[in-house]
């Protein structure tokens, strides 16, 4: 098998044919891709496997260019599989170009209903049986949504795991989509308040941008529509370690003097497009609320829960209402990790999938993803990093779940934000590994 060599690592490609519906193994199949990574010089060593499950949903695994980030620490002890979850990366793609091959929106939605965490875990199991000698157990590292998948793994196939590590991704076992967003808006409000306290000049700067977008039609270089709401969705950045600073620099470079007066700078619009476009990760938007659907929690539809809760909370959080905020003199709040119906009008990559997303939003009776009884009897050594006041995953939900997973060791920290695994140079993973080993 051909190997790719990068600084300090050797990588090999693996592709498996997996059932679209694991309950119908003889039916339609799709490809799932995984990249094996091992430290250079240890290719022939008998190393235990660690499978990495990326955040998302709908995001491919990292593309390493050598020994970097958390991978450096992982490769000290493991042979790593970076799994491109179904529909992403080099796995069979699911996007505006390929989904019409399925038929209309209802057929596309029925297809994508097989792209949740339960199917991802079963894909991983096929890889384990294919890669691990004698089909033995391996370890799993789940970041964010990958942590949701990891808890699903502990629910479905704990016998397949020798250890489980979760970073910023313990889901609420019995939290509905509405529960998730009802808890999220106050956290996002706190991130906004912290941002504006750090950069008080951004209050006026953001109001100026949003006011302009309310009065003018502004197009992004790729054809997307930059509305006030679309601009404010850049608040997704506020949950990462450097996001507030990145957002500030973006806001401070918004304008250029043109023949008719100040106008949004091309460089600003190009940068905004880079943050807002879902061309590379359409499933992040299309499937986002489906990851919370469970029939035992709420047998009804997710139904654009983020938008519904925003309207319900409007009297208490007027700063999230563009027009109400502009009518006063206070800050206009950015939103966070929320998907709204209007995104399927403003983003060219999502526009063709608008009816498909609506069909998924209306879908009911989603299968359960977690087995509380099995988690209560868990015997897999496990550790989780819970980031204090994580903007993306509610700390309260995470800690309640931690209490329900037998033997799970939890590290609550405010040293890092949600991206701690990526930016800590291996410190977060190292801490979890030592926790599982009983060294700390």
The catalytic residue positions are 144, 365, 418
H/E run at residue 9: strand 9-19
At which residue do the structure tokens 């997704």 appear? 236
At which residue do the structure tokens 């973006």 appear? 250
Exposed/middle/buried for residue 207 (C-beta within 10 Å: 0-12, 13-18, 19+): middle
Beta partners for residue 16, in sequence order: 32
What is the Cα–Cα distance from 304 to 360, expressed in whole angstroms? 10
SS3 323: helix
At which residue do the structure tokens 């997973």 appear? 405
Evaluate whether 86 touches 120 at the Cβ level (below 8 Å): yes
From 86, 154, 162, 159, select the one nearest 120 (Cα to Cα): 86
> Helices 354-362 and 105-112, interaxial angle, to 10°?
60
Non-local CB neighbours of 149 within 8 Å, separated by 6+ positions: 53, 85, 117, 120, 121, 124, 142
The full 3-state SS of 96-127, as one line of letters, equals CCCHHHHCCHHHHHHHHCCCCHHHHHHHHHHH
């Amino acid at each position: 098998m051909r190997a790719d060599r990068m600084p300090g690592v050797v990588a090999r490609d693996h592709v498996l044919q997996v059932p679209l519906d694991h309950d119908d193994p003889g039916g339609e199949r799709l490809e799932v891709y995984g990249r094996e990574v091992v430290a250079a010089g240890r290719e022939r060593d008998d190393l235990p496997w660690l499978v990495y499950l990326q955040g998302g949903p709908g995001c491919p695994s990292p593309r390493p260019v050598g020994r970097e980030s958390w991978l450096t620490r992982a490769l000290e002890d493991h042979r790593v599989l970076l799994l491109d979850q179904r529909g992403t990366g080099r796995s069979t793609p699911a996007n505006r170009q390929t989904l019409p091959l399925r038929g209309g929106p209802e057929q596309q939605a029925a297809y994508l209903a097989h792209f949740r965490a339960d199917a991802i875990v079963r894909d991983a199991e096929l890889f384990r049986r294919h890669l691990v000698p004698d089909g033995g157990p391996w370890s799993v590292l789940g970041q964010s949504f990958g942590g949701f998948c990891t808890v699903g793994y502990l629910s479905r196939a704990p016998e397949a795991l020798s250890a489980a590590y979760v970073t910023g991704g313990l889901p609420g076992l019995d939290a509905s989509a509405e529960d998730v967003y009802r808890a999220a808006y106050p956290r996002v409000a706190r991130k906004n308040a912290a941002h504006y306290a750090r950069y008080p000049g951004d209050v006026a700067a953001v109001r100026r941008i949003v006011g302009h977008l309310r009065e003018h039609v502004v197009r992004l270089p790729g054809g997307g529509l930059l509305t006030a709401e679309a601009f404010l969705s850049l608040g997704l950045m506020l949950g990462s370690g450097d996001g507030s600073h990145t957002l500030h620099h973006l806001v401070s470079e918004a304008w250029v003097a043109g023949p008719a007066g100040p106008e949004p700078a091309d460089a600003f619009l190009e940068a905004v497009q880079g943050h807002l476009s879902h061309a590379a990760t359409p499933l992040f938007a299309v499937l986002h609320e489906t990851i919370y659907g469970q029939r035992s929690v709420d047998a009804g539809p997710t139904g654009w829960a983020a938008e519904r809760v925003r309207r319900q909370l409007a009297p208490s959080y007027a700063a999230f209402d563009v027009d109400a905020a502009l009518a006063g003199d206070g800050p206009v709040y950015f939103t966070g990790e929320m998907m709204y119906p209007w995104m399927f009008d403003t983003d060219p990559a999502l526009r063709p999938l608008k009816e498909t997303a609506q069909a998924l939003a209306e879908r009911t009776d989603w299968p359960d993803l977690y087995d509380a009884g099995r988690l209560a009897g868990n015997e897999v050594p496990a550790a989780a990093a819970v980031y204090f006041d994580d903007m993306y995953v509610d700390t309260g939900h995470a800690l309640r779940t931690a209490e329900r997973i037998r033997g799970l060791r939890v590290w609550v920290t405010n040293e890092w934000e949600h991206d701690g695994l990526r930016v800590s140079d291996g410190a977060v993973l190292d801490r979890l590994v030592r926790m599982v080993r009983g060294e700390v």
